[in-house]
Amino acid sequence: MSEWTIGIIGGSGLYAMEALEDRQWIEVTSPWGKPSDKILCGNIGHVRVRFLPRHGRGHPIIPSRVDSRANIDALKRAGCTDILAISAVGSLSEDLPPGRFVAVDQFIDNTKGRPSSFFDNGFVAHVSMGDPVCDRLSKYAAKAVEKAGGEVTMGATYLAMEGPQFSTRAESRLYRHWGAEVIGMTAMPEAKLAREAELPYALLAMVTDWDSWREGEDAVDVGQVIEQMGKNSDLATRTVEKFCKALPKKRTPSPIDRSLDDAVITAPNKHDKELMTKLDAVAGRLFRGR
C-alpha cells in the first residue's frame, strides 16, 4: 500500500465504484458538527480511498446545510492525505458544453452565512488561497478523465453561489462579467477548509447545463441537471479509478501539507484551549507535545 489516502467528496453513484476493494462504511464523529454521511473506506489498487457523499446518500442535504467543516475534519480524522472533489456545475462559457469535465483552478465565493473557517477568537490563522487547488492533483485528475474516455478542460474559475435556487438570467450574465466560467453551490467553503486542514485539494467539475445566460434558451432546471448527471456518473466512476491507479506509489510531500506553518498569528499565551481541543485533527501538529 502506498502513502496516499485519497478523500473523494462526491455525489450519487460514486459510492457504487466497482473498483473499490475491501469496502466498509465507517462512522467518524467530528467536534464541528455532523458529517454528511458515514465514510466509505476501501482501496483502489495501491491507494487507500475514503469516500464521503457530500449531500448524504439519497441527497437529503441542501447545499446551504452541508457541514463542510465537519466533512473536512472527518476526512482528516480518517487519515486522508489529499482530497479530490467531484461536483456538478453549470457552464458560463461557450467553450464548456454539458458533458465536459473541468479541472477548476480558481474560485469566486458568493455564498452567504456558511461557516468558512476552523479558526476563531483565541486561535487566529490566515492561510494563503491565492492558488486554491493542488496543481499536482488537478493534473492527475484531468489525465484520468482522458484515460476514462471523457473530455476535460484544464483550468476554469468556479463561482460558488448560495442556492438552492438556480441563477436568474441577470445573475448569470453578471457572473460571466466577473470572469466566472462554471457555477455551483458546494465548492465553497469546502476548498478553503481543506487548505486550513493542510489537505491538498482538487476539484473536477462535471458540466450539466448552460446555466441561464444564453438568449433564446430555456432556463436551467433540475431535470436537465439530473439527466446529464446520469450520463456523467459512469465516466466519473471510471475517472476516480484511473486517477487512483495512476498515482505514484510514493507520495512526495506537498507545500500544502504545511499550510499552517506561517499562518497562525495569535500569541501562544492567548490561545483558547477549548478551541485548540476542537482543532486536534486540523491543526494538532502545531501544538502537540505542549
Alpha-carbon span 72 to 32, nearest angstrom? 10
Contact yes or no for 191/216 (Cβ under 8 A): no
Contact yes or no for 168/139 (Cβ under 8 A): no
Give percent of the chain above pLDDT 90.
Answer: 82
* pLDDT at residue 81 in the model: 98
DSSP 3-state of 146:
helix
Beta-bridged to residue 243, according to DSSP, are none
* pLDDT at residue 225 in the model: 65
Chain segment 36-88, per-residue pLDDT in tens: 999 999 999 999 999 999 999 988 999 999 999 999 999 999 999 999 999 99
Alpha-carbon span 187 to 191, nearest angstrom? 6
Alpha-carbon span 157 to 153, nearest angstrom? 11
* pLDDT at residue 15 in the model: 62
Task: Say whether pLDDT at 1 is over 70.
Answer: no
Alpha-carbon span 222 to 86, nearest angstrom? 18
Query: Domains, the chain, ranges and CATH?
Result: 5-282 (3.40.50.1580)
> Looking at this protein, which amino acid is placed at residue 79?
G
Chain segment 263-277, per-residue pLDDT in tens: 999 999 999 999 999
Query: How far is Cα of residue 74 from the mean position of the Cα atoms in its chain?
Result: 13
Q: Which residues contact 234 (CB under 8 A, 6 or more apart)?
A: 13
Could you list the active site residues? 209, 211
The CA distances from residue 254 to 104, 135, 185, in Å, are 19, 10, 28
Provide the pairing of β-strand 201-209 with 101-104: antiparallel
The one-character DSSP state at 14 is G
The one-character DSSP state at 3 is S
Alpha-carbon span 79 to 61, nearest angstrom? 25
Beta-bridged to residue 87, according to DSSP, are 205
The CA distances from residue 209 to 9, 97, 101, 170, 200, in Å, are 21, 7, 12, 17, 28
Provide the pairing of β-strand 106-110 with 157-161: parallel
**Per-residue confidence band for 234, with pLDDT thresholds at 50, 70 and 90:** confident
* pLDDT at residue 18 in the model: 75
